[in-house]
Amino acid sequence: MEQLQRATFDEFKSHVRGDVVLPGDANYDEVRQIWNVMVDRKPAAIVRCTSRDDVVQAVRFARRHELLVSVRGGGHNIAGNAACDDGLMIDLSLMKRVEVDAKARRATVEPGCVLADLDAATQAHGLATPLGINSTTGVAGLTLGGGFGWLSRTYGMTVDNLLSAEVVTADGGLAHASELENADLFWGLRGGGGNFGIVTSFEFQLHPVGPDVLSGLIVFPFDQAKAVLTQFARFTETMPDELNVWMVTRKAPPLPFLPEQVHGKEIVALALCYAGDPTAGEKLIEPLRSFGKAYGEHVGVQPYTAWQQAFDPLLTRGARNYWKSHNFVRLSDDAIDTIIEYAGRLPSPLCEIFIGTIGGQTARVAADAMAYSSRDANYVMNVHGRWETAAEDGRCIAWAREFFARSQPFASGGAYINFLTQDEGERIEFAYGAMYGRLVELKKKYDPGNFFRMNQNIKPD
């Protein structure tokens, strides 16, 4: 590899407009770092693409020299597949252009954008598309794995709103994918992760949203968890699509609307967002306040972009992260009891368990319409292990795995591919269910040599 660096990388630099960063360069460690610091890989080179042509050149260069390739968009994925050892990291994070056609309600988005970039551009026109809940998440990775958030019950998964994509394929060629062109590739991109190519442009359907929405938090003491979670489970089964309510249980951060003596104590929080008229929303959320005697709440009308960034302080870079996840059709009493048991012994002040409520429009799409197929999932649970030092690894990972195993009997089929960690390769087929065989055939067609394998990999054999 050293010989390859000396003889070849300088020549490669002349073929791309972006920078090529090598070990020993002043910014190498900064550029290779990703969100989850448990993953610490050292690429032989990083190409910081600024255009589709740079991506094409990078793929062709890697093929020519038989280099392992990883692809970085936002670098936020829990499994850390954005980075590779001794290969070529194709870094898309500088490709951040967003073009909005407000009349057609469409946005064209480059793969380096994070949620905040897309939200800011679309909300300037009072429009949005369903995305996640952390504004530093990459649009590309979120989309290719499915994507869901506050707007999903109203407007579907992120992939349900993808209209087309421009793709650099494994042979260094270009393909345009939509329902009318390379429809099989378009089918696979919508949930199949990075298995079929590097998307250099996404086209999304937009919807009228905000710019102000009713949103916020209601925080209850943990000793009321059984009553709050039980009522949350039943309430969310019948609420209208325009309303979304999630549950988070963790130790209370120092939120200004909570008494100081509550900071650091276990809590149950209901996070809500109403996509319709705030006055109607206020009537709909009133029952939530009767679930228990709250420590406090911060609910009101605020910019949608602000609500999209509300949880960013809890998900900053620099921590160690390990996740486990289940889908649920319904939250049974046994599932609720198990959540409460493990939330009562969090191994780190940064750990949490959250239940994201989907259903609504996400469930009205046929299970075989695209690679993302978990249309019966009304809830996605994430066991979010998060801590600061390597000395805590064993305790925190064991807690997450044990809780995952204990809650599995109450879960449904499938799994959310974006929440799988790097040690869950055996769950990939389970995640895709009946769609897996079709994905294998698609992989054989578009990437028979498994060139794109730094992902939740669908093997072509």
pLDDT of residue 3: 53
Quote the CA–CA distance of 292 and 225 in Å, as a whole number.
9
pLDDT of residue 335: 97
Distance from the Cα of residue 41 to its chain's centroid: 21
Q: How far is CA 444 from CA 71, 145, 192, 196, 328, in A?
A: 20, 19, 14, 10, 32
pLDDT of residue 205: 98
Burial 237-271 (b: 16+ CB within 10 A, else e): eebebbbbbbbbbbbbeebeebeeebeeebbbbbb
- Model confidence band, residue 13 (pLDDT cutoffs 50, 70, 90): confident
Q: Which fold has domain 2-91?
A: 3.30.43
* Cβ(226)–Cβ(262) below 8 Å: no
- Model confidence band, residue 461 (pLDDT cutoffs 50, 70, 90): confident
Using the predicted structure, report yes or no on whether residue 220 has a pLDDT greater than 90: yes
Average pLDDT (268-289) is 96
The pTM assigned to this predicted structure is: 0.96
pLDDT in tens, 322-360: 999 999 999 999 999 999 999 999 999 999 999 999 999
pLDDT of residue 119: 98
Residue 141: CA count within 13 A, CB half-sphere: 29
Quote the CA–CA distance of 413 and 329 in Å, as a whole number.
9
Q: Mean of the per-residue pLDDT values for the chain?
A: 96
Pick the CATH number of 98-209+435-443 from 3.30.450.20, 2.40.50.140, 3.30.465.10, 3.30.70.1290: 3.30.465.10
- Model confidence band, residue 195 (pLDDT cutoffs 50, 70, 90): very high
Burial 284-307 (b: 16+ CB within 10 A, else e): bbeebeebbebbbbebeebebbeb
Concatenated DSSP letters of 11-23: HHHTT-SSEEE-T
- Model confidence band, residue 297 (pLDDT cutoffs 50, 70, 90): very high
Quote the CA–CA distance of 362 and 370 in Å, as a whole number.
12
Lowest mean pLDDT among 8-12, 114-118, 372-376, 451-455: 8-12
Give percent above pLDDT 90 in the chain: 95
- Model confidence band, residue 154 (pLDDT cutoffs 50, 70, 90): very high
Using the predicted structure, report yes or no on whether residue 10 has a pLDDT greater than 90: no
Token pair listed for 189: 């991109």
pLDDT in tens, 29-57: 999 999 999 999 999 999 999 999 999 99
Quote the CA–CA distance of 105 and 101 in Å, as a whole number.
6
Q: Which fold has domain 212-419?
A: Vanillyl-alcohol Oxidase; Chain A, domain 3 (3.40.462)
Using the predicted structure, report yes or no on whether residue 441 has a pLDDT greater than 70: yes
- Model confidence band, residue 380 (pLDDT cutoffs 50, 70, 90): very high
Using the predicted structure, report yes or no on whether residue 252 has a pLDDT greater than 90: yes
The CATH 3.30.43.10 domain(s) of the chain lie at 2-91
- Model confidence band, residue 250 (pLDDT cutoffs 50, 70, 90): very high
Residue 193: CA count within 13 A, CB half-sphere: 27
The torsion angle over the Cα atoms of residues 403, 404, 410 and 414, rounded to 10 degrees, is 170
pLDDT of residue 11: 85
Question: Which long-range contacts (C-beta less than 8 Å, at least 24 apart) are formed by 285-288?
Answer: 285/214, 285/243, 285/245, 287/235, 288/218, 288/235, 288/245
- Model confidence band, residue 6 (pLDDT cutoffs 50, 70, 90): low
Using the predicted structure, report yes or no on whether residue 2 has a pLDDT greater than 90: no
The CATH 3.40.462.20 domain(s) of the chain lie at 212-419
The CATH 3.30.465.10 domain(s) of the chain lie at 98-209+435-443
Quote the CA–CA distance of 10 and 125 in Å, as a whole number.
44
Using the predicted structure, report yes or no on whether residue 4 has a pLDDT greater than 70: no
Token pair listed for 441: 């055939």
